[in-house]
Amino acid sequence: MKLLNLHSIDQLPQAQWDALVPAGYPFLRHAFLAALERSGATTTATGWQPAHRVVERQGQLQALLPLYEKSHSYGEYVFDWQWAEAWERAGRRYYPKYLAAIPFSPVQGPRLLASDIDSAALILDGLEVELEQQRVSSLHLLFNSGEEDAWLRSRGWLQRLGCQFHWRNQDYAEFDDFLAVCNSRKRKNFRKERQAVSEQGISFRWLAAEEIDQQAWELFYPFYAATYLKRGQSPYLSQRFFTQLSAAMPQALRLVFALHQGREVAGALFLVGEDTLYGRYWGCLDEYDRLHFETCFYQGMERCIAEGLARFDAGAQGEHKLIRGFEPVLTQSWHRLQPGLHEAVADFLRREQVGVQRYQQQAREFLPYRRD
C-alpha cells in the first residue's frame, strides 16, 4: 500500500475518488471539493491549502481523507480560537494545523473512508507522525457521522460535542400535516408568519438541476454576498464556485428565489442528498417581515415533503429554529493536539460535554409539538 499527499484533488481522477464516496452525500464528491479549489476558495492564499490523504494499492484507491493545512480557524464552525490563544501565550505556534472537514459547510457525514482498517491506519499513522514531529500543532476532524469513531478513540483523539437543529419529515403529505402535530398556539404562529409574507405580495420560484443556468447564478450571487458584506466580511465563495458546481453536479442543487412585484428580492441555495435537504446559503438585499423564516425554513420544509426527503439540515446555530420544529441534534468532532495542550483541552471538553448534553435536553422543551 502507498500513502499519497495530494496538494490538489485534481491529482486523482474523479471516478477513482468517487468510488469510495457514498452516492447520497454530495459534499465529499470530487466535483464539490474540486469546485472549491478551482474557484480559489481553498488555496494557500486563503489559508486552506489542500493536503488530501489517499491510500492506493496496485492502482486501486483503498482510503481517502479530505484534509487541509490551515493557517487560521475561519470557516470551520467548531471554534478553537481559545485553544490557539492559550498555546500561543505559552510561546508555541498553533498554526499550521490539519483539518479534515468540508470547507465552509458544517454538515455531518463521513470523513475518513477506507475499504479496510489497515488503509485507515496508514492515513492516521502518517498524520500522527507529523504531529509528533511538530510539523503541525494539532489534528482536527469535524462533523463526522460516526464511522471513524472507534479508530479515533482507540488512538486517544478527543471527542467534542456540539448541537444543531434539524427538521424531520414524518411522512407528511403536505405542510398542513406538520401543522397538525403542533400545538394550537404554534399552529397559529406558523400561519401568521407565512401569511405576513404572503400579504407583502411575495411569491417564490424554485429551480432545480439544469433549470439553474448562468442567469440564475447572476441573480443569486449578490444575495449570497450581501450576507457577508452586511457583517463587514468578504464572501468565502465566488460566483465561479457556484457555476462550476452547477456544471459538475446539477442534480444535487435546488435554488429558490423570493419575488416581490415580479422582482427577485432574496434567494437561497439548497443541496440534496440521499434522504436529506441541506440549506446552505441565503441572502437578501431589501428587508421584508418574516422573509428569512419563510425562505430558509418553511420553503425548505415544503420541499422536503414534496421530494419525500426525511430530514432538513438548515445549517449551523439558530435557536429560533426550535420553535419552528427543528429538533436539537448532537454533532461531534475529534481532536488530537500537542502534549500539554492535549491534556488541557481534554479537561475542558469533559466539562463542556456535560453542558452540551444538558442543553440538548433543555432545548427540547421549546419544540412546538403536541404533548398528548
pLDDT of amino acid 156: 98
Whether residue 50 contacts residue 10, with contact meaning beta carbons closer than 8 Å, is answered with no
Confidence of residue 40 (pLDDT cuts 50, 70, 90): very high
Please state the three-class secondary structure of 83-99 as a single string: HHHHHHHCCCCCCCEEE
Please state the three-class secondary structure of the chain as a single string: CEEEEECCHHHCCHHHHHCCCCCCCHHHCHHHHHHHHHCCCCCCCCCEEECEEEEEECCEEEEEECCEEECCCCCCCCCCHHHHHHHHHCCCCCCCEEEECCCCCCCCECCCEECCHHHHHHHHHHHHHHHHCCCCCEEEEECECCCCHHHHHHCCCEEEEEEEEEEECCCCCCHHHHHHCECHHHHHHHHHHHHHHHHCCEEEEEEEHHHCCHHHHHHHHHHHHHHHHCCCCCCCCCHHHHHHHHHHCHHHEEEEEEEECCEEEEEEEEEECCCEEEEEEEEECCCCCCHHHHHHHHHHHHHHHHHCCCEEECCCCCHHHHHHCCEEEEEEEEEEECCCHHHHHHHHHHHHHHHHHHHHHHHHHHCCECCC
* Distance in angstroms (rounded) separating the CA atoms of residues 225 and 115: 40
Q: Do 116 and 245 belong to one domain? A: no
Q: With respect to residue 314, please indicate whether it lies within any of the assigned structural domains.
A: no
- Determine the structural domain holding residue 354 and report its residue range: 2-163+329-366
Domain count, the chain: 2
Q: Do 232 and 146 belong to one domain? A: no
Q: Is the pLDDT of residue 56 over 90?
A: yes
Confidence of residue 225 (pLDDT cuts 50, 70, 90): very high
Q: With respect to residue 95, please indicate whether it lies within any of the assigned structural domains.
A: yes
Percent of the chain with pLDDT over 90: 94
**Which of 126-135, 180-189, 224-233, 300-309 is predicted least confidently?**
224-233
pLDDT of amino acid 152: 97
Mean pLDDT score across all residues of the chain: 96
- Across residues 148-167, what is the average pLDDT? 97
* Distance in angstroms (rounded) separating the CA atoms of residues 185 and 48: 47
Q: Do 123 and 193 belong to one domain? A: no
CA-based torsion, 242, 243, 244, 247: positive or negative: positive
Q: Do 118 and 133 belong to one domain? A: yes
pLDDT of amino acid 315: 86
Confidence of residue 145 (pLDDT cuts 50, 70, 90): very high
Confidence of residue 68 (pLDDT cuts 50, 70, 90): very high
| Structure confidence by residue, pLDDT tens digits, 232-286 | 889 999 999 999 999 999 999 999 999 999 999 999 999 999 999 999 999 999 8
Q: With respect to residue 45, please indicate whether it lies within any of the assigned structural domains.
A: yes
* Distance in angstroms (rounded) separating the CA atoms of residues 103 and 87: 24
Q: Do 335 and 287 belong to one domain? A: no
Q: Do 96 and 132 belong to one domain? A: yes
Percent of the chain with pLDDT over 70: 100
- Across residues 27-44, what is the average pLDDT? 98
Q: Do 136 and 35 belong to one domain? A: yes
Q: Which residues pair with 369 in a beta bridge?
A: 182
Q: Which residues pair with 263 in a beta bridge?
A: 260
pLDDT of amino acid 319: 86
Q: Which residue has the cell 420553535?
A: 323
- Across residues 86-95, what is the average pLDDT? 97
* Distance in angstroms (rounded) separating the CA atoms of residues 245 and 26: 11
Q: Do 119 and 226 belong to one domain? A: no
Angle between helices 214-229 and 239-248 (to 10 degrees): 140
Q: Do 66 and 131 belong to one domain? A: yes
| Structure confidence by residue, pLDDT tens digits, 99-130 | 999 999 999 999 999 999 999 999 999 999 99
Q: Do 119 and 230 belong to one domain? A: no
Confidence of residue 96 (pLDDT cuts 50, 70, 90): very high
Q: With respect to residue 320, please indicate whether it lies within any of the assigned structural domains.
A: no
Q: Is the pLDDT of residue 196 over 80?
A: yes
Angle between helices 341-363 and 81-89 (to 10 degrees): 160
Confidence of residue 45 (pLDDT cuts 50, 70, 90): very high
b/e sequence 227-256, b meaning 16+ C-beta within 10 Å = eeeeeeeebbbebebbbbbbebbeebbbbb
Whether residue 65 contacts residue 319, with contact meaning beta carbons closer than 8 Å, is answered with no
Q: Do 67 and 141 belong to one domain? A: yes
Q: With respect to residue 18, please indicate whether it lies within any of the assigned structural domains.
A: yes
| Structure confidence by residue, pLDDT tens digits, 346-360 | 999 999 999 999 999
| Structure confidence by residue, pLDDT tens digits, 312-328 | 999 887 889 999 999 99
* Distance in angstroms (rounded) separating the CA atoms of residues 293 and 296: 6
Q: With respect to residue 315, please indicate whether it lies within any of the assigned structural domains.
A: no
pLDDT of amino acid 128: 98
Q: How many Å separate Cα 152 from the centre of its chain? A: 21
The residue type found at 26 is P
Confidence of residue 83 (pLDDT cuts 50, 70, 90): very high
